[in-house]
A = this chain, B = another copy of it.
Amino acid sequence: MRRGMQVNDVVAYIQAGRDRFVADLKEWLTIPSISGDPGRAADVRRSADWLADHLRAQGFPTVEIWETPGHPAVYAEWPADDPDAPTVVVYGHHDVQPVEPLDEWDTDPFDPVEESDRLIGRGTSDDKGQILFHTLGLRAGLAASGRQAPPVTVKVLVEGEEEAGSAHFAELLRARRERLACDAVVISDTTMWSADVPSMCTGMRGLTEAEVTLRGPSRDLHSGSFGGAVPNPLHAMADLLAALHDADGRVTVPGFYNDVIPLTDEERELFARLPFDEDEWLRTAGDSRAAHGERGHTTLERIWARPTAEVNGMWGGHTGPGGKTIVPAEAHAKISFRLVAAQDPSKIQMAFESWVAEHVPAGVEAEVRVPGGGVRPCFSPIDSPGVKAARRAMERAFGTEVLFTREGGSGPEADLADILEAPLIFVAVGLDDDRIHAPNEHVEIPRLLKGAEAAAYLWEELATALR
């Protein structure tokens, strides 16, 4: 008996299955499962049904539609043959972004078009293509190894509301927590550095927000009669927001960095090896004229692995045309904090509220409103067993070193980690160039097949690493 599957067998299986795989994906892509459009609810359900049928056809013994107060999710389970094998949840989503502006599409977004190796249409990269490579990979792994069941218990969870904010996802996870019990969660909804530089995401920043109102006089005052002799809430707001960062660009709220897991030397070194073109990045950053941020960190470290305080909006006094010489009654600001592991949104909220209270001058009253509980950051150390195993699978598929990235923004991933209490492993082959959320979304089919190949090796690698 063979001790493991051979690369050549997996590749051969995937190559042989290419046309069937593309045909299946194209069929699924014709369903306009736009979760944000109430008029497309039936299409989102059709998409769930299509996926459920597909998973059954691929051999999953258990396939279920999980209802939510919004759009349905799809759940499938394929138990390992070894009852002591670890269990892994694979997460993705079957809903897609809206397609406006339609006139900027070169093709019909829901009539997918193959142009040489490229597949164009809504959902090709985000996220239908990336879900489907898993079924091809799983079958390739089984075929190449001669197994009847995967070496880990695979639980597939594909939600239908990710592009609409995953409104009911945490609730679903909590309700189905026991069914979803697992040793790791594989996320297939992120991007690699580039087609030439395969990489794995290892973390996402969390978020918490606050709105600050400062109140001075009970009404706007004439600045001739009163200016220079009473506190001006706009001055107090400028002082407050200016004090939020020190000269090194660090957030001054006491304790803000207490729970931050610092970057390791190895992670910084691996980030630094990514072929990052800062000038090009500044162009994508709305032609920003300079990089700017926390001293002692590179741009990639700043956006991926360092927490921030960002003023998103600020207003008060006369903001219309012409002049109005007043001392205004109120000043307002909206502030958001991007958080990194292991910062806790509610601790940061409390620290910020205390800081505001201490920094408001005499004669000005401060109110801090916190809308909701925030989003927790998520993080997978690069030396954790799951990440190392997945990296080996990726490196076997791509035949080159796999580097690491993180993401600056936040999705439902932290809920998976928190509620299922399992480490996250990001295995995905999307690219920033795929124009996800934009007209002419596309993916290269060979890249999806590399994803299938990585997925084929993944279960074997994880079976050993997580045991």
Verify if A216 is at the interface (C-beta below 8 Å from B): yes
Residues of chain A having any CB pair with chain B under 8 Å: 205, 207, 209, 216-232, 234-235, 237-245, 282, 285-294, 299, 302-303, 306-308, 310-319, 322-329, 331-334, 336, 338, 361-365, 371, 407-410
- Nearest residue (CB) in B for A224 is B409
> Given the complex, which residues of B lie within 8 Å of A303, measured CB to CB?
225-229
- Bound-state CA distance A290–B231 (Å) is 7
**15 A-B residue pairs with CB within 8 Å:** A207-B325, A218-B286, A218-B287, A227-B338, A230-B290, A230-B293, A238-B311, A242-B243, A289-B363, A291-B363, A313-B317, A313-B328, A315-B315, A319-B332, A322-B371
- Bound-state CA distance A325–B230 (Å) is 33
Interface residue from B220, B307, B364, B408 paired with A225 (Cβ < 8 Å)? B408
Oligomer: number of copies: 2
Q: Closest approach, in angstroms, between the C-beta of A266 and any C-beta of chain B?
A: 22
> Given the complex, which residues of B lie within 8 Å of A307, measured CB to CB?
228
- Nearest residue (CB) in B for A210 is B323
Check A293–B234 contact: CB distance below 8 A: no
- Bound-state CA distance A227–B288 (Å) is 12
Q: Closest approach, in angstroms, between the C-beta of A145 and any C-beta of chain B?
A: 40
- Bound-state CA distance A147–B329 (Å) is 56
> Given the complex, which residues of B lie within 8 Å of A299, measured CB to CB?
229
Asked whether A361 and B292 contact (CB < 8 A) given A227-B310, A311-B234, A338-B228, the answer is yes
Instruction: Sort A-B residue pairs by CB-CB distance and give the 3 closest, nearest first.
Output: A224-B409, A217-B286, A290-B363
Asked whether A323 and B328 contact (CB < 8 A) given A217-B288, A311-B234, A409-B224, the answer is no
